Amino acid sequence: MRKYVSSALAGVPEGRYTDCMKTPLKGLMSGVLVGTSDMDIERLKKRFKKSNGILKTVNLTEMKLDSRAIRSLVDDGVLVRVRNGYYQLVGEKQSESEASLIASLFPDAVVCMYTALFHWGYSDRTPLAWDLAVDKNTFRGRFDIPDLAIVPWFLTAESLSLGVTSGKFDGVPLRIFDRDRVICDCLKYENRMERETFTKAVQGYIADPKKNVANLLAYAKRRRVTGRIRDVLGVWL
C-alpha cells in the first residue's frame, strides 16, 4: 500500500502514523481515520448516500481528500471511478440502482424513446439500455460508462424542453418526456423502430385514458409530425 501524502496525515501522532502504514486500508475502515485526520468511513458513506451514491472529485476534495488520497482509495478497492471525476463506494455499488447513477451523472438528460415507452406501459420489452435525450452539443464521450448501457438522443434545446415531466424509476425521480411527447417521437423516428414495437406503442397510447390529445397535437406541430398524426392516429382521436 502506498503512503499518503503528509497533508492527509496532518495531526496524526507519529506512532499512529506508523501503525497506519503497516495496516491495509480495508482494515482501517471500521475505526481508523481514512485519508484525513478528521473524517472516518462512516462520514464518507453518509456523504455518498446523500448524493445518490455518487460523488465528484470536488466533493471529495471538500472533505479534505486530495488527489493522491483519492487515488489510494481507488487502488485499495474502497472507491471505484465510474467515469472521469465521478466516484462510487465499492461496498455500496450493488445497492445503488442504475436510476440513481442516471440521476447523479445526467441531471440534464430526459428519459425518452424505448425507456419512456416501457415506463408509460406502451411496451412490454424491458429496455436493454437507457434512452436519454440530451443537448445536441453534449460531449459524446460522456456516455462511455462501464456496466451502464446508454443510448443518447441528441436534440436541440427547444426540443429537449418540450413535454418534460417527472417519473420514478426504482423510487428515483428522473426527468422524462410525457406520454404524448413520446408518441410524437415514435412517429418522428418511425423508420428507426421495429414495426412491432411501434405498433404496440401506438395501440397502447390509443387505449390510454390518460392521454392528452391537445398536448399531442401541440407537440406534433412543433416536432413536425402533424401529417403522421393524422395518418396514423386520426381515426382514433
Q: What is the pLDDT of residues 60-110, one digit of tens each?
A: 988 888 889 898 888 888 888 887 888 888 865 444 688 988 998 899 999
pLDDT tens digits for range 111-159: 999 999 999 999 999 999 999 999 999 999 899 887 789 999 999 999 9
Q: Is the pLDDT of residue 23 over 90?
A: no
C-alpha cell, 64: 479534505
Q: 132: which residues sit within 8 A by CB, 6+ positions away?
A: 102, 106, 109, 110, 111, 112, 115, 143, 150, 151, 152, 153
Report the predicted TM-score, pTM, of the whole model to 2 decimal places.
0.70
> Do residues 57 and 85 touch, judged by C-beta distance below 8 A?
yes
What confidence score (pLDDT) does residue 39 get? 52
Give the orientation angle of helix 226-233 with respect to helix 179-188, to 10 degrees: 100
pLDDT tens digits for range 37-58: 445 678 888 888 777 778 889 8
Residues 67-83: b if buried by 16+ CB within 10 A, e if exposed: eebbebbeebebbeebb
